[in-house]
Amino acid sequence: MRKPQFFEFGLPAVLFHRAKKVLRNLALKLGGISLILGSLLLAWHLIIFGFSPEPWLFPPPNDVWSRLGELWRSGVLQPHLTMTLTEILAGYAAGIGLSFLVGYTISQQPLLERLITPYLVVANSVPLVAFAPLLLLWLGNGITAKIVVTALIVFFPATISTINGFHAQTAMHQRMMRCLGAKKWQRFLFLELPSALPGIFAGMKIGAPLAVVGAVVGEFLGTGQGLGHLILEANGLMDTPQLFVTILVLGTVGVVFYSLIALAEQIFIGPWAEKNRR
C-alpha cells in the first residue's frame, strides 16, 4: 500500500480542497450578482428615460460614470479612498482583535461574564455613532480618532458573538480532550478555538459593514481626507454626480469587504457547521 502523505490529509489539504470548492461556488454567485446589478442599472436608465429628472437631483448613469473617470484620472479619488480604506482596515482589525481577547477572557470567567454581559448588550444597543463627536473632541481630528470610532463600533457586537462562540463546545468533547491528557493550550487549539470559529466569524461579518459606517461617520465630523469628506464636499457644492460616485465606491468597498470575510468563513468553516454534530 502506498505511504500516505501529510499534504493529502492534513489541515493544509483540507483548506485547499475547501478553497477550490468555495471559489467554484463564488463564480456562480458572481453571476447572480451581475444579474442583479444589471437589473438595477436598467431600472436607473428607465427612470431617467421615463421621468427625465433634473441632473442635479438624479443624474443619469453616464454622468456618474464619466464623473468617476474624471475623479480617478485626475487622481482626486485615490487619496480619499486610501485614507478611508486605511481607517476601515485598521479600525476593523483593532476592533476584532480586541473583541477576540476580551470575548475569550470573559467567556473563561463565569462570574465576570455575568457581571459584564448586560453592559455589553446595553453598549451595543446605544447608537455608538453618537459618541463619535466626543471621541474626535478627545483624540483630535487625526486618523487615530477615526480608527477608534471604527474599532468601537465593531467591538461590541463582535465581542458578544465571540463569547457565544466560546460557549459552543460540548461537554462530550471536553471530556474526550481530557481523556487524551491534552494540555490547556492544546484544548484551546484543538477544541475551543475551532468550536468558537462560527461565533467569531458571525461577529466579523456583522462588523464588516459597521466598520465602513464608523469610518465615514468619523470623516463626516472631522475635516481632511476620506470618502466621507468627499461626500460633504459634494453636498456643499451641490455636485450630485460626485455624491453618487462616492456612494457607489463606498457601497462597493462595503460589499467587497463583507464578501471577503464571508469567503474566509466558508474556507475555514466547512459544511460541518450546519450539519448535525457528532
Partner 1 sequence: MIKVNNLGMHFGRGRGHTQVLKDINFHLAPGEFVTIIGRSGSGKSTFLDILMGLVQPSEGTVERTNRASMSYVFQKPALLPWRNVLRNVYLPLQVRGVRRADRLKAGMDALRKVGLSYAAHLFPFQLSGGMAQRVAIARALAEDPDILLMDEPFSALDPILRENMNFNLLSLWQRTQKTILFVTHSIEEALILSDRIVILEGGRFVQSFEVDIERPRTYESFQDPRFSELYRQIRNALPHQPNLPRLAPEEEEDP
Per CB under 8 A, residues contacting partner 1 are 3-6, 8-11, 14, 172-173, 175-183, 186, 190-191, 194, 197, 269-273, 275-278
Report how far residue 275's alpha carbon sits from residue 269's, in angstroms, rounded to the nearest whole number. Answer: 12
Query: From the CB of 189, what's the least distance to partner 1, in Å?
Result: 10
Nearer to partner 1, 198 or 203 (CB): 198
Nearer to partner 1, 6 or 138 (CB): 6
Nearer to partner 1, 26 or 182 (CB): 182
Query: From the CB of 213, what's the least distance to partner 1, in Å?
Result: 32
Query: From the CB of 19, what's the least distance to partner 1, in Å?
Result: 15
Cα dihedral 152, 129, 166, 275 in deg (nearest 10): -130
One-letter amino acid of 164: N
Nearer to partner 1, 111 or 171 (CB): 171
Report how far residue 40's alpha carbon sits from residue 19's, in angstroms, rounded to the nearest whole number. Answer: 31
* DSSP states along 242-262: HHHHHHHHHHHHHHHHHHHHH
User: Taking Cα atoms as reference points, which of 8, 45, 11 lies closest to residue 193?
Assistant: 11
Measured at the alpha carbon of residue 11, what is the angle toward residues 8 and 17, in degrees to the nearest 5?
A: 60
Report how far residue 80's alpha carbon sits from residue 158's, in angstroms, rounded to the nearest whole number. Answer: 27
Report how far residue 26's alpha carbon sits from residue 20's, in angstroms, rounded to the nearest whole number. Answer: 10
Query: From the CB of 182, what's the least distance to partner 1, in Å?
Result: 5
Nearer to partner 1, 3 or 24 (CB): 3
**Which residue has cell 450578482?**
33
Query: From the CB of 50, what's the least distance to partner 1, in Å?
Result: 52
Nearer to partner 1, 13 or 248 (CB): 13
Report how far residue 273's alpha carbon sits from residue 13's, in angstroms, rounded to the nearest whole number. Answer: 19
Which residues touch 129 (CB under 8 Å, ≥6 apart)? 149, 153, 213, 214, 217
**Do residues 135 and 148 touch, judged by C-beta distance below 8 A?**
yes
Nearer to partner 1, 133 or 270 (CB): 270
Query: From the CB of 179, what's the least distance to partner 1, in Å?
Result: 5
Query: From the CB of 173, what's the least distance to partner 1, in Å?
Result: 6
